[in-house]
Structure 1
Amino acid sequence: MENIYMLLEMLLPFEWVEHTFMKNAFLAVLLVTPLFGILSTMVVSNRMAFFSDSLGHGAFTGIALGAILGMGSPLASLIIFSLVFALLITYIKNNSRTSADTVIGVFSSTAVAVGLMLMSRGGGFNKFSSYLIGDILSITPEDLAALLLVFIVVVTAWAFLFNRLLVLSINASFAGSRGIHVFLTESLFAALLAVVVAVSIQWVGLLIINSLLVLPAAAARNAASGVKEYHLLSVGTAMISGVTGLISAYYFNMAAGAAIVAAAAVIFFATWMLRGKFLNKT
């Protein structure tokens, strides 16, 4: 890590780089924001904003279960519960006559209620409140190693799933006619979302994590003229928002997660107001 820190200090001669916690946070942003950027494209294209929001609610219960089971870090239970939660929603959504938004709403509200009951047991809710707003400045080198592993897994899986998800975003029946296993593809994508949400929620915050799965692609849609440009702009928006928000949070002494989302929102509204000019270019 020392070599990486020295490289950052050489490339970024700013006052905030002198702090180890800022260097760790900066590296975390470079690892996690591209994941939000690429996953965001399919969340928006497949109208899964409500689903991705429910994953944050499910993670809430996972945190509580980890604490009850006596785990020093609730990350393991968080990931396991988030995966089960995401896959169960996907299964019932595909095997029920109930509308998708109703199924997601039922699971989401139930997860929040159960999580609140477990966390508030014995008046112990305060120790979990940090998960609501997150704290990326608390990230450690060990956390960065875990993020790097998640980054590699997600990017590798994305390369395998991308074409299938792209066809699926057009029409599920059409995807099935092209030999794509719709349920398996949806399940794998839901699992990727669940893992990214579970791993990053302690640094981004439960209240705003869904925004990072929606805003990058929403902003990219305003400006993109093709699929490749759409994905590149989404990743670029996520990374620019991450770096801008982190540095703003340092200088203005505010929550980094909220500042990152605010930066992404600014980019969205800017592209929304300029979308006529982008369309005229095409």
Structure 2
Amino acid sequence: MEIFSWIKYDFMKYAFLAVLIITPLFGLMGTMIVNRKMAFFSDALGHSALTGIAVGVIFGVENTSISMVVFAVVFALCLNQISSRIAASTDTVISVFSSCSVALGLAILSKGGNFSKYSGILVGDILSITPQEILYLVLIFIITLIFWLFGFNSLLAVSLNRTLAASRRIPVAWMENLFAVLTALIVMVSIKWVGILIINALLILPAASARNISENMREYHFLSLLFSLFSGILGLIISYFVNVATGPSIVIIASVIYFSTYMWGRKYNV
């Protein structure tokens, strides 16, 4: 059938496998990011990729993915530390860090007019993913699943009330730092194929859509995973037939789902 013609190409098979791994990660992590009101945090992490690349260029790192990941982890931990110790709102702290980070990265990468060779990371290209890179995604997926199985209850308690969580002998700082590091890893590992400009939307939209119509935590997580997978698969197929970038196609589908669930929730008072 014509609708399945895309499956005969290896690059589409690899992209399809990547979508099956990336989108559940986004759906899972997005639920806690939305719960903890960290949408701006994940957006700042995405933008910090530019500075990570710039740091790699300065120190002569050939594989800029390594410098991106290292910088993002340090960036996430610094954000956590500072936002928990100063009186200013978290959004203000994140905005300051994000702005400085992006400006520094752009300044370094644009020196001599060389930014054009890094511009591809802004929109990403999941069709360029390789089997080895898919293995990296599988590894991150396994790590995330283990963290979720053993740390979800503690993390949820921390997100609801830090003082109460601490009184229950939950290592609050450790949980917050682990979650920040894991989010940084997922964002940096995925950003090459998703793109800086839209990666935050893929993290937030499925979870926000699920929250619009969920009545309990189980539904919330299930629907977030379902919406994320559906958006990823349909967006990939549509991008193939319409000949547009895959990332934006996925985000458009996820946006349609969000507005649909928003209207549904208002209509039925979910």
| Partner SS, residue 14 of structure 1 | helix
Tell me which of 75, 79, 87 is aligned to 2:77.
87
In the other structure, the counterpart of 2:58 is 68
In the other structure, the counterpart of 1:117 is 107
| Partner SS, residue 42 of structure 1 | helix
Shift of 1:72: 3.0
For 1:28 and 1:67, the matched residues in 2 are separated by 27
For 1:115 and 1:249, the matched residues in 2 are separated by 30
Shift of 1:257: 0.6
1:262 maps to 2:244: no
Shift of 1:276: 4.0
In the other structure, the counterpart of 1:197 is 187
For 1:185 and 1:228, the matched residues in 2 are separated by 21
Of stretches 123-132 and 55-64 in structure 1, the one that deviates more from structure 2 is 55-64
1:136 maps to 2:126: yes
- Where do 1:20-169 residues align within 5 Å? 20-169=10-159
Q: TM-score, normalised by structure 2?
A: 0.96
Tell me which of 240, 243, 264 is aligned to 2:230.
240
Post-superposition CA distance 1:205-248 (Å, at most 9, x none): 00011111110110001111110110011111111110011111
1:209 maps to 2:228: no
Structure 1: gaps of 5 or more residues: 1-11
Equivalent residue letter for 2:229: M
For 2:247 and 2:179, the matched residues in 1 are separated by 24
Post-superposition CA distance 1:69-117 (Å, at most 9, x none): 3333211111100000000100111122222111111110010001101
1:18 maps to 2:32: no
Equivalent residue letter for 2:212: N
Shift of 1:169: 2.3
Aligned-pair identity in percent equals 51
Structure 2: gaps of 5 or more residues: none
> How many pairs align?
269
For 1:24 and 1:169, the matched residues in 2 are separated by 36
1:200–1:38 CA distance, 2 compared to 1 (3 A): same
Shift of 1:160: 1.9
Q: TM-score, normalised by structure 1?
A: 0.92
For 2:41 and 2:21, the matched residues in 1 are separated by 23
For 1:51 and 1:27, the matched residues in 2 are separated by 28
Tell me which of 229, 241, 244 is aligned to 1:251.
241
| Partner SS, residue 72 of structure 1 | coil
| Partner SS, residue 71 of structure 1 | coil
For 1:255 and 1:67, the matched residues in 2 are separated by 27
For 1:148 and 1:44, the matched residues in 2 are separated by 24
For 1:113 and 1:243, the matched residues in 2 are separated by 34
Equivalent residue letter for 1:75: S
For 1:45 and 1:24, the matched residues in 2 are separated by 32
1:174 maps to 2:164: yes
Contact preservation (8 Å) 1:94, 1:183:
no
Of stretches 56-65 and 210-219 in structure 1, the one that deviates more from structure 2 is 56-65
For 2:185 and 2:34, the matched residues in 1 are separated by 18
Shift of 1:258: 0.6
For 2:252 and 2:3, the matched residues in 1 are separated by 25
